[in-house]
Amino acid sequence: MDLTRVDVIPAPAGVPVSYVESQWHRISAELEADRALTRLAGMLDRDPCWDDLRTLAGVRDVPLDQAGRLMRLMATQRVSSFLSGQTVLGIVEIADEGEAPEAMDERTARHEVGLALGRSKDQAAFLITTYTRLVQEFPDFVTALTAGRITLGHCYVLHEETVVVTDPAALARIAGKALPLAQAQSATRFRTALRRLIQRHDPNAAERRRQARLARRVTYSNLGDGVSSMTVVARTEDVEAMRESIDDAAISLITADRAAADAEAAAASDTGSDAGQGATQSRPRLTTAQARSDAVVAALLGEVDDDGIVTYAPREHRQSRLELVIDVATAAGIKDNLARLGTDPICAGVARALMVDVEVIARALVADGTAHLLDLGQDTYLSAKQRAHIRTRDRATCRCCGRRATRGEMDHLVEFLRGGPSAPWNEWWLCRECHQRKTAGQLDVDGRTDHAVQITTPHGIVYCSTPPPYLDDPDRDSVLAARTTPVRFVLPPRRRPRPAPTPAPDPADDTPPF
């Protein structure tokens, strides 16, 4: 409908001009918003192109509802990735000598590119080196970037992590398996998955790991004002064991501090002393960071009192338990897949032999094919209930937003009061905020928590949440990531406001026709 060609007709008798004009503007705005949503939906259904810039410029000032703003945001992000891909190709084209009669040398190229981008020559040289390597060795990633399926951050992660890989065949295998992971994960999670791929496929990974372990060290730094820092570089499994021990000791210190504060408050209330209550309220509570620091000092030097003074008192060495992760088929002897002991992979025979060592081994049984957690050894979690299983299966990470949620909450996908059973396929781990949003009906969920759950936000963004694999397998994870349904937008039903009732005529208003 072309609003510019509509003839102005007289308003019905008894209807004020102001009301007619307001309804005219409302209908015009709704039609304009509908046209903008149709154009945005078309952008999201195909690969971005240069014409999308004109489309975004046309809908920039259109008043949209929240769903329309989200569509515009997603379209803008896709166009931004497209422009980043064009920038990569443009810089490589400028820096490439080719067959031009007057080829640019390296110094001239970095100077010209730096001036064009408003960067220094060193920054321009870094961009030329990085983008040239991406185009030459990872053309599929550049294509995905231009198509808006990944971001430039994924490309930077790929370049940084694969610089150490010198085998061309291994680099090609890593790139082929890394692209589905990049399209299904954020840049931060993609970095972790890419490191696992490199460990699996790079023949020099074992030697680099050995060389890295030779760099174990402890460094010190004086921060001033009577405090200093100490940094420990050690094996990952040793650092994880120390972290667990420190966190347990910190929780004990925080619990004791809260108990002491409650005792002081109770004593002050019994005596009825206002001064005592004021001193108790002003008493600083022990933070988590402070508790960890005190726990480290106490573990190395002795006990720490309330004033932070350390009293040396040797303690018995605490033996850490190692976690053995093995799939069902391997545990039964049907297959010989790799298992994991701590952070290191081990062969199937050694894993089956270690399953009987209940004194120092905590067993985790996973499903064959997906590596989803099925069961935890009863010797370790004898008194733990299903909450511990769900928290461990989901890696203490919110299944809705992906945020780390060590103090999260277990939730029933189908509410217990509505017949939802307390079973692993109906329970998942959520942060408190997402749990409240789901309870309030702001998130529409469907599926099984042990396989895949489709989540729809109030404004139409749809994505899939699967439990993270408990046993690492980069090859399998790449295949599963390629099957994962990408984030998409489904326009929710448009709720048009009901027209206001026709008001009574105002004698002071203009008399129609106008």
Whether 177 maps to a domain, the answer reads no
- Quote the pLDDT of residue 160: 94
Dihedral Cα 223, 228, 229, 230, nearest 10 deg: 140
- Alpha-carbon gap, residue 475 to 481, rounded angstroms: 10
Reduced to 3 states, what is the DSSP secondary structure of residue 332? Answer: coil
Is residue 338 domain-shared with residue 300, that is, in the same domain? Answer: no
Write out pLDDT tens, residues 66-102.
Answer: 888 888 899 999 999 999 999 999 999 888 754 444 5
Residue with tokens 């992979």: 345
Reduced to 3 states, what is the DSSP secondary structure of residue 178? Answer: helix
Is residue 354 domain-shared with residue 477, that is, in the same domain? Answer: yes
Is residue 269 domain-shared with residue 333, that is, in the same domain? Answer: no
Q: Can you read off the two tokens belonging to residue 124? A: 């321009």
What is the number of other CB atoms lying within 10 angstroms of the CB of residue 402? 16
Residues 6+ apart with CB under 8 A from 129: none
- Alpha-carbon gap, residue 179 to 140, rounded angstroms: 8
Write out pLDDT tens, residues 92-143.
Answer: 988 875 444 454 567 777 788 888 888 888 888 899 999 999 999 999 999 9
- Quote the pLDDT of residue 100: 44
Q: What percent of the chain has pLDDT over 70?
A: 79
**pLDDT, average across residues 34-61:** 88
* More confident site: 464 or 299: 464
- Alpha-carbon gap, residue 262 to 254, rounded angstroms: 12
Is residue 371 domain-shared with residue 466, that is, in the same domain? Answer: yes
- Quote the pLDDT of residue 358: 52
- Alpha-carbon gap, residue 71 to 64, rounded angstroms: 10
DSSP class per residue in 466-492: -PPPSS--HHHHHHHHHHSPPPEE-PP
Is residue 45 domain-shared with residue 130, that is, in the same domain? Answer: yes
Biggest alpha carbon–alpha carbon distance for the chain? 97
DSSP class per residue in 197-266: HHHHH-TTHHHHHHHHHTT-EEEEEEEETTEEEEEEE--HHHHHHHHHHHHHHHHHHHHHHHHHHHHHHH
What's the number of domains the chain is made of?
3
How far, CA to CA in Å, does 314 sit from each of 36, 181, 298, 301? 71, 48, 9, 7
Alpha carbon 394 to chain centroid, angstroms? 14
Where is the domain boundary, 264, 284, 311? 311
Whether 173 maps to a domain, the answer reads no
Reduced to 3 states, what is the DSSP secondary structure of residue 153? Answer: helix
Whether 338 maps to a domain, the answer reads yes
Burial of 319 (0-12, 13-18, 19+ CB in 10 A): exposed
Whether 213 maps to a domain, the answer reads no
Helices (H), 96-163: 106-117, 121-137, 139-146, 152-162
Is residue 368 domain-shared with residue 300, that is, in the same domain? Answer: no
Whether 509 maps to a domain, the answer reads no
**pLDDT, average across residues 197-204:** 88
- Alpha-carbon gap, residue 272 to 268, rounded angstroms: 6
- Quote the pLDDT of residue 459: 81
- Alpha-carbon gap, residue 186 to 154, rounded angstroms: 8
Q: Is the dihedral of CA 127, 133, 136, 138 positive or negative?
A: negative
* More confident site: 362 or 97: 362
Is residue 385 domain-shared with residue 404, that is, in the same domain? Answer: yes
Residue pair 376/389 in contact (Cβ under 8 Å)? The answer is: yes
Q: Is the dihedral of CA 472, 477, 480, 485 positive or negative?
A: positive
Which H/E stretch holds residue 181?
Answer: helix 168-184
Is residue 30 domain-shared with residue 76, that is, in the same domain? Answer: yes
Q: For residue 226, what pLDDT band results from cuts at 50, 70 and 90?
A: confident
- Alpha-carbon gap, residue 245 to 371, rounded angstroms: 27
- Quote the pLDDT of residue 101: 42
Residue with tokens 């410029």: 57
Is residue 292 domain-shared with residue 349, that is, in the same domain? Answer: no
Write out pLDDT tens, residues 231-266.
Answer: 999 888 888 888 888 888 888 888 888 888 888 888
Reduced to 3 states, what is the DSSP secondary structure of residue 302? Answer: coil
Q: Which of 39-53, 77-91, 268-282 has the lowest mean pLDDT?
A: 268-282
Is residue 306 domain-shared with residue 355, that is, in the same domain? Answer: no
What is the number of other CB atoms lying within 10 angstroms of the CB of residue 59? 20
Q: For residue 145, what pLDDT band results from cuts at 50, 70 and 90?
A: very high
Residue-number span of the structural domain to which 268 is assigned: 239-311
Q: Is the pLDDT of residue 281 over 80?
A: no
Where is the domain boundary, 122, 149, 176? 149
Is residue 304 domain-shared with residue 330, that is, in the same domain? Answer: no
Whether 211 maps to a domain, the answer reads no
Whether 123 maps to a domain, the answer reads yes
- Quote the pLDDT of residue 41: 87
The strand pairing partners of 304, in sequence order, are: 310
Where is the domain boundary, 270, 290, 311? 311
Write out pLDDT tens, residues 11-23.
Answer: 566 666 565 566 6
E strands, 391-466, are 409-412, 427-430, 444-448, 452-456, 461-465
Whether 250 maps to a domain, the answer reads yes
Dihedral Cα 86, 89, 92, 96, nearest 10 deg: -130
Q: Is the pLDDT of residue 422 over 50?
A: yes
- Alpha-carbon gap, residue 118 to 133, rounded angstroms: 22
User: Which residue from 47, 77, 56 is spatially nearest to 143, judged by alpha carbons?
Assistant: 47
Is residue 331 domain-shared with residue 479, that is, in the same domain? Answer: yes
- Quote the pLDDT of residue 162: 93
* More confident site: 91 or 514: 91
